[in-house]
A and B are shown apart, each in its own frame.
Chain A
């Protein structure tokens, strides 16, 4: 009996100890223990969404996301073997040996970035190699990277990603579409493995969507290289080339020089800021004589002239209070047809012809050709250019605008305007994105948003094309742009440039060539501009060859046969 009682007392004491402990655990600060348990076993992993690729018109990747790794060093562990580790890393991952060595020997830290955005396979291979040699202190962490397989091809359009966010180009403009939404997974693990039936929640990531461009990578490559060679040869500041599919207005190539390698983007400085974007849209300039083609199309459409209209061209036109208008070659009074005026690119003849058209009418034609308005093809920082309101034109303004000075355009606008003549007088909105995409400013762009409107009659467009064909004839200014066997219509342009500081023409030039082929059934429109060439040659000599090279390539690549019709036989003189 007595023993039983002792036993009960002992049991009661033990139980009250348990009770006290229970109260301690559950009543006083129960959360910290739960958190501790959680920290031990529950893992929350980010499930990063795959960034959508940017592809060209046939699906070739221009920008793609790749599983990348960052290589991290722990100097505490790696210090002793630092030279050997640094050597292997430098050789395999193309790092700088000395800075890697320095980082591996840094004191007072256990976390040093050695390399970022290394392709996963490469990083794993190096880690394995280091493991086999028994070197310690190197770890890898996930670090998604962006790969641009063709380096500088279309880099100005596509842009690039910075460490954490898109910094330029379409990567930035269409980030919402490309980025997708990250997901999250929470689950319990034991010894590195997921515990089945354990607590687990998963929010699936929503991958980014692919962005398809109308660009043809091969055409873009060829155009870029041809343009770069011409810019180097002419010692020009910069150059731009636009290739449009005539019927659809789709941009097959949009090249800008200088450009950069998207895989190694340069730091943005004031000096190269323009090189990172698309000059073809952001840098307006005075188009010069290429614009004459638009003036003549307007004149023919309005019934003011025909290609055979006879014009007496004096040696110069005197202007009150301004320098007289002259031609690019010296001549006495000559007799040219309207076609001859365009073929010889006579400013005087153009002014005389254009005076038959009221300022408002010419202004309406030019805006209808798309000048002075953004093309909105989805490229950042587009400048609308300036076409002064027709109601405010003085006689002098009217005269200079007629031959392409006193108004400014961007290269894409001008290409689309020339394309209108190629497309039978119907303006097609140029496009760069297949289908529809929404820019970061909420604007819908793309081929499905492209509209059309008639600017000049089909007849006027055809007659202008025939006049433009004379430009590439043997002995004329644009003969360097002629493609053998094909009928090519084009127009050269050599325009004075407005200086940066003086707000006057500073003696430098913008040279250009715009045209299309085959002239009687156009398939492609190519427009080439070079800024400030220093070799003394004009649009025909500098931009013409680029036009020829690109057009020859296009006609061959797309298998366009020569039409085999008789070339234009319009008279030049009378």
Chain B
């Protein structure tokens, strides 16, 4: 608590009592400004809702991503398998055996010793160039596999006459059966006979 000195008080009184009187400090009455609760509650609930919804959406997105990634992985696997399949086809087409066979079909033969063309002089060097006459040709077929008799038995063929009653509808049923239509599927008998005639 500050107690003003008596003499100063006297001096102040003397100089400007009225001013002092005006400047005297008084305790300000407490103003209780009641902040409205509603915005706060709204904000908190909004945060909460946003959080929950956000989390939910986050989860959903991740789930969705997981679906997508699984699907994409599956697709990648399929494409990889497809690529491998195509590569295998390409390899088969590239195989020296096939190329040699194609060449033979086209009437080509194994060549004689090569001759060289010197482009600067425009001359054939390294001996005379002789046309290929196939004198050195040999079979490019792979040697046949020799199997013991037990592994390659003679085929047993049995001819069985179809029952006379069913013979009439066989020709009509066969065309549809071959196309594997829904009705052909149930006609097991006809379908199988159709098979045998193809084989």
Residues on A close to B: CB < 8 A? 61, 64, 66-67, 81, 83-84, 87, 97, 119-122, 124, 133, 147, 149-153, 192-197, 217-218, 221-222, 225-226, 228-232, 257-261, 266, 271, 483-486, 545, 548-549, 552-553, 555-556, 559, 561-562, 564
Binary flags per residue of B45-84, CB closer than 8 Å to A gives 1, else 0: 0000000000000010011011101100000011011101
**Residues A485 and B113 in contact, CB atoms below 8 Å apart:** yes
Residue of B nearest to A226 (CB): B138
Beyond the given A67-B81, A229-B138, could you list 7 further A-B residue pairs with CB under 8 A, ordered by the A residue number?
A150-B91, A229-B139, A257-B143, A259-B143, A484-B127, A485-B113, A562-B126
Residues on B close to A: CB < 8 A? 59, 62-63, 65-67, 69-70, 77-78, 80-82, 84-85, 88, 91-92, 94-97, 100, 110-116, 125-128, 130, 136, 138-140, 142-143, 145-146, 148, 180, 185, 188, 191-192, 195, 199
**Residues B95 and A549 in contact, CB atoms below 8 Å apart:** no
**Residues A555 and B96 in contact, CB atoms below 8 Å apart:** no
Contacts of A84 in B (CB 8 A): 180, 185, 188, 191
Query: A153 vs B67: C-alpha distance in the bound complex, in angstroms?
Result: 45
Option from B85, B96, B112, B188 in Cβ contact (under 8 Å) with A150: B96
**Residues B185 and A119 in contact, CB atoms below 8 Å apart:** no
Residue of B nearest to A272 (CB): B146
**Residues B78 and A552 in contact, CB atoms below 8 Å apart:** no
Contacts of B142 in A (CB 8 A): 151-152, 225, 228, 261
**Residues B84 and A150 in contact, CB atoms below 8 Å apart:** no
Query: A33 vs B191: C-alpha distance in the bound complex, in angstroms?
Result: 52
Query: A217 vs B111: C-alpha distance in the bound complex, in angstroms?
Result: 19
Contacts of B138 in A (CB 8 A): 225-226, 229-230, 549
Candidate in B70, B127, B199 with the most chain A CB atoms within 10 angstroms: B127
Report B125 CB to chain A, min CB distance, Å. 7
Contacts of B192 in A (CB 8 A): 83
Contacts of B91 in A (CB 8 A): 61, 64, 147, 149-150
Report B95 CB to chain A, min CB distance, Å. 5
Residue of A nearest to B188 (CB): A83
**Residues B78 and A124 in contact, CB atoms below 8 Å apart:** yes
Residue of A nearest to B67 (CB): A193
Query: A147 vs B81: C-alpha distance in the bound complex, in angstroms?
Result: 13
**Residues A150 and B97 in contact, CB atoms below 8 Å apart:** yes
Query: A563 vs B52: C-alpha distance in the bound complex, in angstroms?
Result: 87
Report A348 CB to chain B, min CB distance, Å. 34
Residue of B nearest to A482 (CB): B113
Residue of B nearest to A485 (CB): B127
When A and B form their complex, which 5 residue pairs have the shortest distance between CB atoms, in order from nearest? A485-B127, A121-B85, A120-B81, A149-B91, A229-B138
**Residues A555 and B114 in contact, CB atoms below 8 Å apart:** yes
Query: A121 vs B188: C-alpha distance in the bound complex, in angstroms?
Result: 29
Option from B63, B95, B130 in Cβ contact (under 8 Å) with A151: B95
Give me 15 A-to-B residue pairs in the complex whose CB atoms sit less than 8 angstroms apart, sorted by A's number: A67-B77, A67-B81, A83-B192, A84-B180, A124-B81, A147-B91, A149-B91, A153-B97, A228-B142, A258-B143, A484-B127, A485-B127, A485-B128, A552-B114, A561-B125
Given A121-B82, A150-B96, A196-B63: A66 in contact with B88 (beta carbons within 8 A): yes
**Residues B110 and A486 in contact, CB atoms below 8 Å apart:** no
**Residues B84 and A67 in contact, CB atoms below 8 Å apart:** yes
Contacts of B78 in A (CB 8 A): 124
Residue of A nearest to B147 (CB): A266
**Residues B84 and A121 in contact, CB atoms below 8 Å apart:** yes
Contacts of B65 in A (CB 8 A): 196
Report B167 CB to chain A, min CB distance, Å. 20
Contacts of B59 in A (CB 8 A): 196
**Residues A193 and B66 in contact, CB atoms below 8 Å apart:** yes
Residue of A nearest to B96 (CB): A221
**Residues A552 and B85 in contact, CB atoms below 8 Å apart:** no
**Residues B62 and A196 in contact, CB atoms below 8 Å apart:** yes
**Residues B66 and A194 in contact, CB atoms below 8 Å apart:** yes
Given A257-B143, A548-B136: A193 in contact with B70 (beta carbons within 8 A): yes
**Residues A197 and B62 in contact, CB atoms below 8 Å apart:** yes
